A and B are shown apart, each in its own frame.
Chain A
Amino acid sequence: MIEKGKISAFQMAVLMYPTIFSTAILLLPRITGKQAAQDLWLSPIWASAAGFLSVLLVYRLHRLYPGQTFIQQCETILGPVLGKLLGFAYLFYFVHITAIILREYGEFVVGTFLRLTPILIIIALMVFVCMAAVRGGIEVLGRTAELFGPLVTLLLVIIFLLLLPELHPEYVLPFMEHGVGPSLKGAVAPMIWFSEFWLVSFFFPYLADPERGLRWSVISVLIVMVSMVITNIIALMMFGHLMQHLTYPVMAAAGYITVGGFIEHLESIVMAVWVAGTFLKVSTFYYAFSLATAQWLKLNDYRPVVLPLGFLLILVAFWVTPNLIQMSYSMATTLPFYFLFYQLFVPAVLLLVAQFRRRSHRRRNPGRPQPNALTDG
C-alpha cells in the first residue's frame, strides 16, 4: 500500500474546511462583490451547489471503485492509455493550482506585511514546512488539522464578534435590487473553491470509518458555505460602498477594531489565522499531488516524490503569473472554467463512463462479477 495511515472522517472534514476557506476569506468579498454588490452574501449559497455536487460525484466513484483515488480510477475506467493520459493532465492541474495558491499566499504576505522581503523566501519557507507535514503522512495531516482548524475558526469568530458594534445592517439593502442575476454571476468564482472538495477523493480510500465519509464531507461543505456567507455579510455591513475599493476587506475590518482604546491592530490575528489556514491548504493539495504522482508512476511509496515536487512548486509559483493584477484578472475570468473543468466536469464524465461500462458489462456478461479495484488493480 502506498499510504498506510488512516484518518477519521471527522479529521478529513476538519482538514477540508481550512483547505477551502482560508483563501476565500481574503479574496471572496472582493471577487463576489464585483458582480453582486450588496447581494454578495447570497453568492456562496448558490455556489455551494458545486461543493455538494463534487462530493457526491467523488463519493459515487468511490463506491464503484473503493480503495482507489481519482488518479487510479481514471486508469481503471478509461483503460491504460486514455486513463494514463488523463492522469497526466491532472498532474499538470495539480502543479498549476498548488502554485497559484502559493503565489496568492506570497503576494498577500509581501503586499501587506513584509513588503521588502523577496517573495521567494516566503513561498519557499511555506513549501518546506508543508513538505515536512506531507512526508509525515495522512495521519499527520489529519491531526494537524484537528489542532489548527478549530483554532482558526475560534480566532475568526472572535474578530467577527469584536466587529459587531461597527456593523450597519442597513447596508444589506436594497435586497436583490437587480433581481437574482448579480448574485448568481458572483457565484461563479466561489464555485472554484467549492469544487475543490473533489480532493476528498484522495482521502476516501484511507478513512478509518468510510461509512461516515459522505456525511462529514457534506457537513464540511455546509460549514464552509456558512463561513463564506458570514464573511461576506460582515464585509458588507462594515464597509458598504467602500468595500469595492478595498483589496482585502477582512484585513481592513480587523484593523479597524479598537476595544477600550487598548486592543488594537488585530490584523496580525487575521494574518496568523491566514498563515495557519494556508499551511493546511497547501499541505492538502501538496499531499494529494504527491500521492497522485506516486500512484500514476505506480511507485510503492510516495515519500521520495515529495521533495522534487516541492521544488517544482516553488518554480511554478513564479511562472504562474507576472503580477498580482494579472492573477486577479485570470481568477475572475478564465480560471473558473479551467478549474471547474478538472474539479467538476471531468469527474462527472468519468462517473458517467463508469456507469455506462458497468451497465454494458452486465448486459454482456450476466452472472460474472464486475471489474473492480480488487480484480483490475
Chain B
Amino acid sequence: MNRGLLFLLLPLLFLSGCWDRNEVNEMAIVIGTAIDYKDEETIELSVQLVIPKSMAMGSQSMGSDQGSPGMKSTLVESASGYTIYDAVAKIQERIPRRLFWGHNRILVISEDVAKDPFSHHVDFFLRHPQPRLRTKLFISEGQAKDMLAVMTPLENSSSKAAQELSRLGFGLRVTIMDFLQMINSDANSAAVPLLKVVPPDPEIGEELSEHLQMSGAAVVKNGRMVGIIDDETVRGLMWILDQIDTAEISFEPDKAKGSMSVQIIRSKTRLVPQIENGKWRVIVSVDTYDDIVENQTNLDLDDPRVIDELEKNLEKVIADRIQRAIQQVQKEMKADCFGFANVFHRHFPEQWRQVKDRWETMFPDVEIELAISAKIKRYGLATHSQGTPKDEVEHR
C-alpha cells in the first residue's frame, strides 16, 4: 500500500510543469504578422501584439473612444532578419514577454515580397507548432506593416478586421492551408486577396479613421505574384472556385427599365473535365438559388414568365463575370488558379501524365464551357416596385 501510494504521489512532483509553463501575463500574444523587404537580403517582420488592459477597456468603451491617443489596444513591432525566425529573435530582444503565436490571425505579405518567390516565408507557419494553419493570408498594396498599424473603427485590431473581412466572403477566402495546398498541387498557382488601407475621407468628417479594405486579388504562379485582378474579376474567379457563399448581384434586366438586385442563397459549382478528340475542355456547371431583394424596375414579379426572363438574365450576368475572370486569368496571365490541372489529373490520370510538363502552355487553350442555372425562388416581402405606379407595371 505504501509503495503504491509512492508511485501515485511521485508524479505529482512534476505537475507544476516547470519547463513549459506558459503564464498568460508572461506572453505577448501575436494576432497579426506582416512581411516586408528591408533590403535585398533581409526581410522585415512586423507583428501586431495585443495590449491586454487596453483591449479589455477598448471593447467596453467602443464608439466613445475613437482616435484618442494612448488608448491603443495593439502594438506593432518590427525587426529585420535573414529569415522569419531570425527577425523573431530580434523582436524578442525588445519585448519583455515571450511571443506567442497561437492566436495569430493573419499573415500579410507585401506586394514587393510577393513579386519574388515567397512561399518559403510561409514555411515557418507550417513547421512551428504554435502558429495556426487557419491563419488568413493576404498580399498588401504597399507596405505590409501599414496594414497592421491601421486603427479600424469597428474592431479592436486591424488583424481582427482583416480576418472578418475575409470571413464575410465578399472576396477570396485563403488560409495558409489553402494557399499551400494550391501551391503544392498540380496547378501550382493560387489567387490571394489583396489588402489595402483606405484613408479617411475628409468630406465625411474627421471622426472616421482609416480602415482596411479587401479589394481584388493577386495571382500567384510558380511561387511568385504575376499580376493583379480587380474586384469584378475576383467575383468571376470565385464562381469558378465554388467560393460564392452569400452574395449579391445587381443587374439591369433586358427589355425593362431600371435595375434589380438578387441575393444568392446557395450556389454550387462543379468542374467537369472532358477530353474529346485531343481537345481539352472543362464544363463549369453552376447551380444557384437566389432571392430578389430589390426591385427598381417596372416588372411584375407575380408573372412566372417575368421570372423566367429574369433567371436567364441572371445567368447571363454570371456568365459574363466568369468570362471576365477567364479572360484575365487564363488567357492573359496563363495561371491555373482554377485548379484545372487537379481536375484533369483526378479524372484522366493517363492523359494528364503525358502533358503535365507542358501544362503551362496547354492551359490557356483549354476550352471552357459554361453551364449556368440560376433559379429565383422568392421575391421578398413586396411585389411590384415601389417606384412604379400600379398601372405602369409591365406584364408579359
A interface residues (Cβ-Cβ under 8 A, vs B) = 111-118, 121, 125, 128-129, 131-132, 135, 170, 173-174, 177, 239-242, 245-246, 252, 255-256, 258, 261, 265
Contacts and interface: CB of A to CB of B under 8 A. Distances in A.
Contacts of A170: 346
A128 B10 contact: yes
Contact of A113 (B10, B129, B346, B347): B129
Contact of B14 (A116, A121, A132, A177): A121
Contact of B19 (A114, A135, A265): A114
A241 B181 contact: yes
B132 to A, nearest CB: 6
Contacts of B347: 173-174
Given A113-B20, A174-B345, A239-B181, A256 B7 contact: no
Nearest to B4: A132
Interface in B4-30: 4, 7-8, 10-11, 14, 17, 19-20
B177 interface: yes
A64 to B, nearest CB: 38
B19 A116 contact: yes
A255 B135 CA distance: 11
Interface SS of chain A: helix
Contacts of A241: 181, 184-186
7 contacts: A115-B20, A116-B19, A135-B4, A241-B185, A242-B177, A256-B133, A261-B167
A252 B133 contact: yes
Contact of B181 (A135, A240, A255): A240
Given A117-B17, A242-B181, 7 more contacts: A112-B129, A115-B129, A116-B19, A173-B347, A245-B184, A256-B134, A261-B167
Interface of B: 4, 7-8, 10-11, 14, 17, 19-20, 102, 126, 129, 132-134, 167, 177, 180-181, 184-186, 345-347, 349
A131 B8 CA distance: 10
Contacts of A117: 17, 19-20
Contacts of B346: 170, 173-174
A2 to B, nearest CB: 20
A255 B19 CA distance: 23
B155 to A, nearest CB: 13
A132 B7 contact: yes
Contacts of B19: 114, 116-118
Contacts of A115: 20, 129
B7 A128 contact: yes
A94 B20 CA distance: 32
B349 A132 contact: no
Nearest to A115: B20
9 A-B pairs with least C-beta separation:
A173-B346, A174-B349, A116-B19, A117-B19, A114-B20, A241-B184, A177-B349, A132-B7, A242-B181
A127 to B, nearest CB: 10
Given A115-B129, A245-B126, A245-B184, A256 B11 contact: no
Given A121-B14, A135-B4, A240-B181, A255 B133 contact: yes
B356 to A, nearest CB: 13
A135 B8 CA distance: 12
Contacts of A113: 20, 129
A111 B129 CA distance: 8
A118 B14 CA distance: 12
Nearest to A170: B346
Contacts of B10: 128
Contacts of A261: 167
A293 B272 CA distance: 63
A173 B347 CA distance: 7
A303 to B, nearest CB: 10
A242 B347 CA distance: 19
Contacts of B345: 174
Contacts of B184: 241-242, 245
Contacts of A121: 14
Contacts of A245: 126, 180, 184
A246 B123 CA distance: 11
A174 B351 CA distance: 12
A265 B102 contact: yes
Contacts of B349: 174, 177
Nearest to A121: B14
B244 to A, nearest CB: 16
Contacts of A125: 11, 14
A116 B17 CA distance: 10
B11 A255 contact: no
A246 B102 CA distance: 18
A116 B10 CA distance: 21
A131 B132 CA distance: 37
B121 to A, nearest CB: 15
A240 B180 contact: no
B126 A258 contact: no
